[in-house]
Amino acid sequence: MRKKLLILLIVASMGFAAGEQLQVRKTAEPTDISVGDEVIIKLEFTNPFDKEVNIKIEDTNTFAGNGLDIQCLERKLPSDRFITLEYEPIVAYTAGNYSLAPAKITYTNPETGKEEEVASNELEIRVKENKSFHNPKQSSITTVYQCGGMSMRSTSYSSSSSMQQQQPTQQQQNIQQRVNEMQQKNQDMNSLKQHMEQQLRQQKETQEKMKEMIEKNKNFQQMQRNLEEQGYKFQQKEVNPESNGTGDFSYSYKKGNETARIRGRMEGGEMKRLEKHTSEELKEMQEKLEQNPEFQRMQNMLQEEGYSLKEGNLSPIQNNISRFNYQYLNPENQSANITGEIHVDGNITRIRVAREKKESNKLNPLWIPPLVVLLILLYFLIKRRRKRKPAPESPKKEKPIDFRKLALSMISEAEELYRKGKRKKAYTRVSEAIRLYFRYALKQKEELTDYEVVQLLKKKKHGKLGTTKECLNLCNLVKFAKYKPRDEDFDRIVKMAEEIVK
């Protein structure tokens, strides 16, 4: 009996030692679903680590004649304990009972540094009949791949109502044609996925080689030993290779509340810059600054003017320099600053005082009676003139806006922004051009959002719906997602936008 109890205790302790895992649950909203309803699939995460977690999602949600196939989706979960991710809505087109496979989540455990995998629950969905809903012209399955800085999104459409009106032989030909198209798209997607995975492998290899070069460098090793001797423990490293043996890096260390960092740059496998700094060193620099005669002179001058210190900050040391900013306030809530740079050796440069400009907002009391009289006279004068209403002028005709020309001009501006390196602004400008075009083309009084444009085109069964939706989605990937823009992607978006506007 004692042996059994001992074994149970050992097993339990092993379970605790193994640490906690990320948890995920798949849900759908609403729970009461009828044909024609928009269904939002959600992933509800429980993050036990109290740290940010990078995840990769694989999740297929196809049901009721429509769906979303997530082949790979990278996201960063915040340090909050409970987080919910939502997919875009899926319209239920066909009644029935459906079973959605579990979502697979791959992540790096921030406590162990090892890659782990968890799965959600399987989700059962029941879609009820809705006689008032007419079958749509098209149902679709959208495939998404957003991993490793690469992004691809493709949608396969199928038509139900138009097929029913065709002869059986023609219907079979169309079905076979669509099957061939979907097979080709799947082949293209698999080819791109393999290419992306190969690029990821190459990036990891380049990163590992650079890490090895850094950690074999004698000066780096000496700096690391010095920190270890002072009681600092390694925390994390960031290595950002631009090519083989070239890039920036930063290694972080901690000792109680104190922090330290070794950072630098390699070029062609050679160490070009290497520096080590601690928060203790920064405190020493702050003491030297506050004992500096010039700094004390400026501070005394501000205090004599009625200013008092609000806060003083020094930036992290970089290239052996820290930038300081001391902020002051006076009783009238006006601010002043002492700014400059302090070097590791205590030398201070670019020190200056800047005060907020004083504005004379006070009104002399002697002016108040004449001002009141003047306002009363103005009141009666305006009232008298209004009684003499002039003959109404004929309304001027507003010059019609050449919205196509204006939208094309905005697309040209986007190309210029992209050439100047302002890539996110360029993508934003393209989406603005499309929204402006449809605002006037669809005769809307107010500006439209991306969502409103797509909904209006759906409602009007517009021929440009597919191209417009794809173009806006690609723009949003750059604006909101972690996607690094590429030249070929931008050229494609510009071409699509020009076709939409023309």
pLDDT tens across 464-478, in order? 888 999 888 888 877
Tell me, yes or no, whether 171 and 81 share the same domain: yes
pLDDT at 401: 80
pLDDT at 17: 41
pLDDT at 391: 53
Share of the chain above pLDDT 70, in %: 82
Tell me, yes or no, whether 273 and 301 share the same domain: no
The model's confidence at residue 358, banded by pLDDT at 50, 70 and 90, is low
Residue 348 has pLDDT above 80, yes or no: yes
Please check whether residue 226 lies inside any domain of the structure.
Answer: yes
pLDDT at 58: 93
pLDDT at 365: 64
> Which of 202, 226, 247 is the last residue before a domain boundary?
202
In this structure, what CATH number is given to the domain that contains residue 166? 2.60.40.10
Cβ-contact 142, 119 below 8 angstroms: no
Tell me, yes or no, whether 335 and 413 share the same domain: no
Residue 166 has pLDDT above 60, yes or no: no
Q: For the chain, give the mean pLDDT.
A: 82
Predicted confidence (pLDDT) per residue in 229-280, tens digit: 999 999 999 999 988 889 999 999 999 989 999 999 999 989 989 998 998 8
The model's confidence at residue 326, banded by pLDDT at 50, 70 and 90, is very high
> Which of 317, 339, 355 is the last residue before a domain boundary?
355
Residue 327 has pLDDT above 90, yes or no: yes
**C-alpha span between 51 and 78 (Å, rounded):** 7
With 0-12 CB in 10 A as exposed, 13-18 as middle and 19+ as buried, what is 37?
Answer: middle
pLDDT at 174: 55
What contacts 156, CB < 8 A, 6 or more positions away?
Answer: 140, 141, 142, 143, 178, 181, 182, 185
pLDDT at 139: 67
Q: Determine the structural domain holding residue 474 and report its residue range.
A: 403-501
Residue 168 has pLDDT above 50, yes or no: no
pLDDT at 55: 94
Predicted confidence (pLDDT) per residue in 367-391, tens digit: 778 888 888 888 888 877 776 655 5
Torsion of CA 399, 404, 405, 410, to 10 degrees: 120
Tell me, yes or no, whether 254 and 313 share the same domain: no
Residue 291 has pLDDT above 70, yes or no: yes
Tell me, yes or no, whether 183 and 237 share the same domain: no
The model's confidence at residue 353, banded by pLDDT at 50, 70 and 90, is very high
Please check whether residue 362 lies inside any domain of the structure.
Answer: no
- The residue with tokens 């809530």 is 333
Tell me, yes or no, whether 348 and 445 share the same domain: no
DSSP secondary structure string for all residues of 193-246: HHHHHHHHHHHHHHHHHHHHHHHH-HHHHHHHHHHHHTT-EEEEEEEEEEETTE
Tell me, yes or no, whether 39 and 142 share the same domain: yes
pLDDT at 10: 43
Tell me, yes or no, whether 172 and 224 share the same domain: no
Please check whether residue 122 lies inside any domain of the structure.
Answer: yes
Residue 15 has pLDDT above 90, yes or no: no
Please check whether residue 6 lies inside any domain of the structure.
Answer: no
Q: Quick one: average pLDDT of 332-337?
A: 91
Residue 11 has pLDDT above 50, yes or no: no
The model's confidence at residue 167, banded by pLDDT at 50, 70 and 90, is very low
Q: Quick one: average pLDDT of 110-137?
A: 84
Residue 319 has pLDDT above 60, yes or no: yes
The model's confidence at residue 12, banded by pLDDT at 50, 70 and 90, is very low
Q: Quick one: average pLDDT of 155-172?
A: 51
Tell me, yes or no, whether 416 and 348 share the same domain: no
Predicted confidence (pLDDT) per residue in 46-105, tens digit: 999 888 899 999 999 988 667 888 989 899 889 888 899 889 888 887 888 999 999 999
Please check whether residue 143 lies inside any domain of the structure.
Answer: yes
In this structure, what CATH number is given to the domain that contains residue 301? 3.10.450
pTM given for the model = 0.37
Strand partners, 152: 145
The number of domains in the chain is: 4
Tell me, yes or no, whether 453 and 424 share the same domain: yes
Please check whether residue 127 lies inside any domain of the structure.
Answer: yes
Q: Is 35 helix (H, G, I), strand (E, B) or coil?
A: coil
pLDDT at 480: 64
Please check whether residue 382 lies inside any domain of the structure.
Answer: no
Share of the chain above pLDDT 90, in %: 37
Q: Quick one: average pLDDT of 316-323?
A: 89
Residue 451 has pLDDT above 90, yes or no: no
Please check whether residue 389 lies inside any domain of the structure.
Answer: no
Predicted confidence (pLDDT) per residue in 430-444, tens digit: 999 999 999 999 889
Tell me, yes or no, whether 102 and 30 share the same domain: yes
Residue 449 has pLDDT above 80, yes or no: yes
Angle at 4 between CA 3 and CA 8, to 5 degrees: 115
More confident residue, 185 or 429: 429
Tell me, yes or no, whether 430 and 329 share the same domain: no
Strand partners, 308: 329
